Amino acid sequence: MGTVSQFQDKVRPPAHRIESEEEAISTARSLAAAFRHQARERDINRVLPFAELDALSVSGLTAITVPPDHEGLDVSNALLAEIVAIIAESDASIGEALENHFCALEALRTQAGEDLKASLFARVLLGDRFAGATFTEGAELTAEGPGYRLSGRTRQAPGILFADWIAAAATAPPGRPVTLYLVRNDEGVQVIDDWDGFGQRTNGSATAIVSTLHVNADAIAPAPSFEYSTGISLGLLLKAGVSLGIARAAWNDLMTTIGDRGTTILPRIGERAVRIEATAAALERAGRKLDIAQVNPVEAAMADAHFSASAAAILAGETALDSANALFELAGETSAGIGLNLDRHWRNARIHALSLPRDKLLRAAGEYRSTPSDA
């Protein structure tokens, strides 16, 4: 760790244009089948999945949320969450990088001006990937000509190592929250591969460091002022998608490991199966509510979407941990071999859950459901 990661020299082939939701989910399943083969080895040896992320870009899957006004497909949020779950089931780290990419695109859609959206969505259609990040306190953004001079460092964020663009939250004088769209391989941007977590080991988490960089005003967008923005809700929904994928992966390995012995513990197996199915239903419901909030972004719709996305994220996180624990409880000693690396499901679920502000979400849910209109 601690090395400066350099952008790959090779140029990706032109990205395919996915034309329908049916093609999108079929593509996701096909890629997931390929990603699954070496996922265990990538985790053990921390082999970063650059080739797999490039395959996602070339397939067109990274562009499926581009709005129709910018020649994109703009899939439904329920389908998007399912696609992230499918990819995360094959490799949770790749799923998390995809989660961050789509969240950055939602911020672009809702915050940026038309010229910036047109420019960057065109890059997405060509296969460019994004990663959202946040500059730490102490970062400096000062006026300089037609823009700002930037220096500082971001917090660790998944997907930065794989990104072409970094959508970085910062504060412009005199205290105005903004998002800066930085070219990942700009010579003024260093990306430090400093992730050393015991789970999600290949998710491309890194820290971006900027010494002195001029950022043009046309590469800056205002941050949303509403607490329950669709970007925040989408982040929760896709986080739930990754957790659901981890749960399904643990379930699949459980069924493979126990084999014929599963008939003796059918009630306990059934309990986990029902919980995974209920979690998938929660994601679908939250996705539908988020669709409504995106089309009609009034306060009530956005708050409702946030509540459902919060519920899905909390439930999915619990389901992922429960499924990973059940794998060892029900499969027994045969599941504990180092070579099998089945513990990665628990490690991935545990690390992924750390970024979920569970107490804050539960408090907000309590406040939302205790309002007079919901009594």
Six-digit token string for 121: 């969505």
Residue 340 CB: number of other CB atoms within 10 A? 15
Do 87 and 234 lie in one domain? The reply is no
Do 346 and 259 lie in one domain? The reply is yes
Rg (CA), the chain: 21
CATH of residue 134's domain is 1.10.540.10
In sequence order, what are the beta bridge partners of 176?
172
Classified as helix, coil or strand, 22 is helix
Return the pLDDT at 43.
Answer: 97
In sequence order, what are the beta bridge partners of 222?
178
DSSP 15: P
Do 106 and 71 lie in one domain? The reply is yes
| CA distances from residue 279 to 84, 231, 296, 327, 366 in whole angstroms, order as listed | 14, 21, 26, 18, 20
Do 97 and 128 lie in one domain? The reply is yes
Return the pLDDT at 259.
Answer: 82
C-beta of residue 348 within 8 angstroms of C-beta of residue 93: yes
Q: Which ranges of the chain have pLDDT less than 50?
A: 1-9, 374-375
Phi/psi of residue 232, nearest 5 degrees: -65, -45
Cis, peptide link before residue 13, omega less than 30° from 0: no
Do 159 and 10 lie in one domain? The reply is yes
Strand order in the sheet with 3-4: 3-4, 189-193, 207-216, 147-153, 140-143
Do 14 and 113 lie in one domain? The reply is yes
Do 101 and 137 lie in one domain? The reply is yes
Return the pLDDT at 3.
Answer: 42
Return the pLDDT at 16.
Answer: 98
Classified as helix, coil or strand, 142 is strand
Do 203 and 234 lie in one domain? The reply is no
CATH of residue 291's domain is 1.20.140.10
Burial class (CB in 10 A: 0-12, 13-18, 19+), 30: middle
Classified as helix, coil or strand, 344 is helix
Q: What angle separates helix 92-111 from helix 343-354, to the nearest 10 degrees?
A: 20
Q: What angle separates helix 92-111 from helix 230-258, to the nearest 10 degrees?
A: 170
Do 191 and 276 lie in one domain? The reply is no
Range of the domain at 333: 230-374
Do 189 and 112 lie in one domain? The reply is yes
Nearest to 90, CA basis, from 242, 209, 226, 194: 242
C-beta of residue 239 within 8 angstroms of C-beta of residue 99: yes
Nearest to 238, CA basis, from 68, 73, 107: 107
Classified as helix, coil or strand, 76 is coil
Q: Which of 222, 240, 258 is the last residue of a domain?
A: 222
C-alpha distance across the termini of the chain, in Å = 52
Return the pLDDT at 2.
Answer: 41
The residues, any chain, with a CB within 8 Å of residue 225's CB and separated by 6 or more, are none
pLDDT per position as a tens digit, 149-189: 999 999 999 999 999 999 999 999 999 999 999 999 999 99
Q: Which of 200, 222, 244 is the last residue of a domain?
A: 222
Segment (H or E) for 220: strand 220-222
C-beta of residue 128 within 8 angstroms of C-beta of residue 108: no
Do 146 and 195 lie in one domain? The reply is yes
Q: Which of 165, 191, 222 is the last residue of a domain?
A: 222
Tokens 């306990």 label which residue?
A: 268
Residues recorded for the chain: 375
3-state DSSP helix/strand/coil % of the chain, to nearest 5: 60, 15, 25
Return the pLDDT at 10.
Answer: 53
Six-digit token string for 183: 């070219």
pLDDT per position as a tens digit, 218-271: 999 998 777 899 999 999 999 999 999 999 999 999 999 998 777 788 999 999
- Give how many domains the chain has, as a whole number: 2
Do 289 and 330 lie in one domain? The reply is yes
